[in-house]
Amino acid sequence: NHTKVTEFILVGFRSHPGLQLLLSVLFSTMYVVTVAGNAFMILIIRTDSKLHTPMYFFLENLSILDICYSSVITPKAALMFSLGRRIISYNGCASQMFFFSLFGTTEAFFLAVMAYDRFTAICNPLLYHIVMNKRLCVFMVVGSYLSGCVNCTIQTGFTFRLSFCGPKEINHFFCDVPAVTRASCSDTVVNETVMLAVCGSIIVGTALVVCISYGYVIVTIVHMPSAESRRKSFSTCSSHMLAVSLFFGTVFFMYAQPGATSSPDKSNIISVLYTVVIPMLNPFIYTLRNKEVKVSLKKQLKRKRF
């Protein structure tokens, strides 16, 4: 006797209307900065031939991914806060979940690939250009997207096979898997187990690749003979280590622990970090802490000024 649900209501953050407007302005500003910062990063890499290396090929793809990742969530959330448009259709919710899971999973694999790239560059510098050839780089990027497709298909398929019989409220500002699962009137034990197994294995697996790669990198840097070579080597991977720490720290807190679906209040706040803040910070992290990008940026500014 269940009535078929055709739409959901995104509750978001329950607060005073004035605070809702402030949230809208904040989200809109961060989205503009995200798109502009990442687009600028892509432009710098494309226009400077010295940056046409595997490391910056991955960084360019990460910037493209961050634009897509943020675009799935932030504009809808900003409109929801400003205009009060909290209704999202059933198909719209499924699409948002699909693409969010796709880009989020792909980003985790990208960060692992970039860690392997730094491992090869620092621990095996003589073989770097042989190992990290163009074919392997393209294969890694495509493989990351395919892995994201597999995960988002599983997550979206399992979530939307559940029954939704009211209330139709989703206690979140977007259609995240745990939030939609909580809105179901079905038994969700299987879904929670699948989410923990699939997301947990992806997050832990990619994080292990990152940790092992940087473990070897740190040992190699420590044993370098000169302070200058140690400083130069560390500067090429410090920005990536910071980005990795921010991403995996928040995502592990959300998805790779038992009971991840049972804490709606804290999940809303933590979600803002990895859906809105981290994509905005990434271009600044890689620009401000990367000497080659800063040199290229100065060169481009001088050329424009001339």
**Which class would CATH give 15-304?**
mainly alpha
- For the cut 90, the answer to whether the pLDDT of residue 195 exceeds it is no
Q: What is the pLDDT of residue 182?
A: 85
Q: What is the average pLDDT value for the chain, to the nearest integer?
A: 84
- For the cut 50, the answer to whether the pLDDT of residue 201 exceeds it is yes
Give the pLDDT confidence of 128-175 residue by residue, as tens digits: 989 999 999 999 999 999 999 999 999 999 999 888 886 688 888 899
Beta bridge partners of 265: none
d(CA 289, CA 238): 8
What does the block give as tokens for 291? 């000497």
- For the cut 80, the answer to whether the pLDDT of residue 31 exceeds it is yes
Q: What is the pLDDT of residue 1?
A: 43
d(CA 286, CA 272): 21
- Cβ partners under 8 Å of residue 50, min gap 6: 292, 296
- Cβ partners under 8 Å of residue 223, min gap 6: none
Stronger pLDDT, 62 or 269, i.e. the higher one: 62
- For the cut 80, the answer to whether the pLDDT of residue 238 exceeds it is no
d(CA 206, CA 143): 13
- For the cut 90, the answer to whether the pLDDT of residue 294 exceeds it is no
Measure CA 272 to chain center: 11
d(CA 236, CA 234): 5
Percent of the chain exceeding pLDDT 70 equals: 88
The predicted model gives 211-230 an average pLDDT of: 85
Q: What is the pLDDT of residue 261?
A: 45
- Cβ partners under 8 Å of residue 288, min gap 6: 239, 294
Is residue 201 helix, strand or coil? helix
Q: What is the pLDDT of residue 251?
A: 78
Asked if residues 278 and 250 have their Cβ atoms less than 8 Å apart, the reply is yes
What does the block give as tokens for 163? 């029954």
- Cβ partners under 8 Å of residue 192, min gap 6: 181, 260, 261
Give residue limits of the domains in the chain: 15-304
Q: What is the pLDDT of residue 18?
A: 67
Asked if residues 118 and 238 have their Cβ atoms less than 8 Å apart, the reply is no
Measure CA 177 to chain center: 15
- For the cut 60, the answer to whether the pLDDT of residue 255 exceeds it is yes
Q: What is the pLDDT of residue 258?
A: 53
- For the cut 60, the answer to whether the pLDDT of residue 256 exceeds it is no
pTM (two decimals): 0.87
Asked if residues 184 and 261 have their Cβ atoms less than 8 Å apart, the reply is no
CA-based nearest residue to 39, from 10, 77, 71: 71
The predicted model gives 275-304 an average pLDDT of: 76
Measure CA 288 to chain center: 20
